[in-house]
Structure 1
Amino acid sequence: MSINKPLYTTQDIQKRVDTYISQFEEGYFSPLSLMARLTEELGEMAREVNHHYGEKPKKETEKDKAIEDELGDIIFVLTCFANSLDIDLSEAFDKSITKIETRDKNRWTRKDQT
């Protein structure tokens, strides 16, 4: 995992998705439809993780879908969800990570800092 310079910021991602969706009359799906679609994508990722790390190997007839591809699909649908509700993903993430850093700061065993 490379945490150097990101290829896209969350603002870039949201803008690119909005540019794509805005070219269609239908626009964004409703929140309920987006939730269903997000659930579908999460299920596809769960299936891939189970095939790679669980006890259920793929059938010989099944195509290999990379976990990376499934994560990308989830990011796309999640971005559609955020855009449709006018939610800034950077702000949403900042609120979440701040909550986690505060709430869980002493929850886990820290690594030695030496």
Structure 2
Amino acid sequence: MPEKTLAALQREVDGYISQFKEGYFSPLALVARMAEEVGELAREVNHTYGEKPKKPGEPDNSIELELGDILFITICFANSLGLDLTAAHDKIMHKFNTRDADRWTRVNTESE
């Protein structure tokens, strides 16, 4: 499967949402949905890496699917506000590469 760009993902989600008269949810509803999905991700991480096992009969979800839900909601949110996620990513990476340039210990790339 070929890699998709953020722009392609935004177009794909927009094509899906555009099929429905209701369109995108309001920003407030999208934030609530995002919070709900982050909670579901936390639950899966806790089941996988924490001390809380799943209850008998509890459905099998995965961290991958929960991250996918968060990505979908994030794209919906950006699309509903007319935001370009590629531009947002570029701005954030610039921030991390400048503000946090010396914050973390870099992996030694010199040969010993």
> Normalising to structure 2: TM-score of the pair?
0.94
1:13 equivalent to 2:13? Answer: no
1:67 equivalent to 2:71? Answer: no
Identity of aligned residues (%): 60
Unaligned runs of 5+ in 2: none
2:44 aligns with 48
**Distance change in 2, residues 1:98/1:6 (3 Å):** farther
Unaligned runs of 5+ in 1: none
Task: Tell me which amino acid in the other structure corresponds to 1:94.
Answer: D
1:71-111 per-position Cα deviation (integer Å, ceiling 9, x unaligned): 11100000000000000000001101110111111111111
The size of the alignment, in residue pairs, is: 110
Shift of 1:42: 0.6
1:18-66 per-position Cα deviation (integer Å, ceiling 9, x unaligned): 0000111100000000000011111000000011011111112212211
Task: Tell me which amino acid in the other structure corresponds to 1:101.
Answer: N
Question: Which of 95, 102, 106 is equivalent to 1:99?
Answer: 95
SS in 2 for 1:61: coil
Give, in whole Å, the separation in 2 of the partners of 1:109 and 1:6: 34
Task: Tell me which amino acid in the other structure corresponds to 1:14.
Answer: Q
1:35 aligns with 31
How much is the aligned-residue C-alpha RMSD, in angstroms? 1.2
Give, in whole Å, the separation in 2 of the partners of 1:84 and 1:93: 17
Question: Which of 85, 89, 95 is equivalent to 1:89?
Answer: 85
